Amino acid sequence: MKRFSLVFIALLFTAYIFILHASCHGKNPGRKISLKEDSAEKSRIIKKATVIKEFIKGKKINDRYCFLVDMNLPSGKNRFFVFDLAKDSVVQMGLVAHGHCKTSFLLKPIFSNQKQSCCTALGKYSVGGSYTGQFGFAYKLHGLDSTNSNAYARNIVLHSYWCIPEEEVYPLPTCNSSGCPMVADGFLQKLKPYIGKSNRPVLLWIFN
């Protein structure tokens, strides 16, 4: 009965999110979005970007932009950030799902690097080549830390899916992924230029 209830609640959330997703298509996707100057979220992002600047020194990694995913934030809030390392500013932000870890629905993320765990793995990733697969257009991800070293073998990729809305839905959550950083289709389109126009891989860091 408990498992049935969880599945039912998850289906209700998914149905509601689908409606929100559909309604967002009429809105202006190019509107300016910014974090509050004194927000705790912005402070965390700035600190992580400082770490990234040191990490990429001497490495063949894009030194202008990076992707930062703050899993400490609820899934219904924007927590995938495109950060301009030269200007110390967030230039894009969007929703991103976390893995369900083989449960019917997982409100808060549980992290694992184990194969077939269907969980999100923390750590730094190098965004690799693109391909078209089960979920359409996607980018392969290469884990750079011991906490996400199995990412490529686990088929953890950056892709979009219909159940992720284009705008925040908090206090509602988004749907879960099978461990991939799964975003809205419109947001993936915004990410493409940062990846495709770079002659070096973009760094993606999922942290908590």
pLDDT in tens, 81-90: 999 999 999 9
Q: What is the pLDDT of residues 34-74, one digit of tens each?
A: 566 558 888 999 999 999 999 999 999 999 999 999 999 99
Buried b (16+ CB within 10 A) or exposed e, 197-206: eeeebbbbbb
* Per-residue pLDDT, 21: 42
Beta-bridge partners for 141: 127
Q: What is the pTM of this model?
A: 0.84
Coil, strand or helix at 123 = strand
Region 2-24+35-207: CATH code: 2.40.440.10
Torsion on CA atoms 51, 55, 61, 67, rounded to nearest 10: -30
With b for 16 or more beta-carbon neighbours within 10 A and e for fewer, the 77-112 pattern comes to bbbbbbbebeeeebebbbbbbbbbbebbbbeebebb
Average pLDDT, the chain: 87
Alpha-carbon distance 99 to 117, whole Å? 9
Give the model confidence (pLDDT) of 138-181 as tens digits: 999 999 999 999 999 999 999 999 999 999 999 999 999 999 99
Quote the strand ranges of 42-192, DSSP E.
65-70, 80-84, 89-94, 123-133, 136-143, 157-160, 182-183
Percent of the chain residues topping a pLDDT of 70? 82
Per-residue pLDDT, 192: 98
Q: Where are the domains of the chain?
A: 2-24+35-207
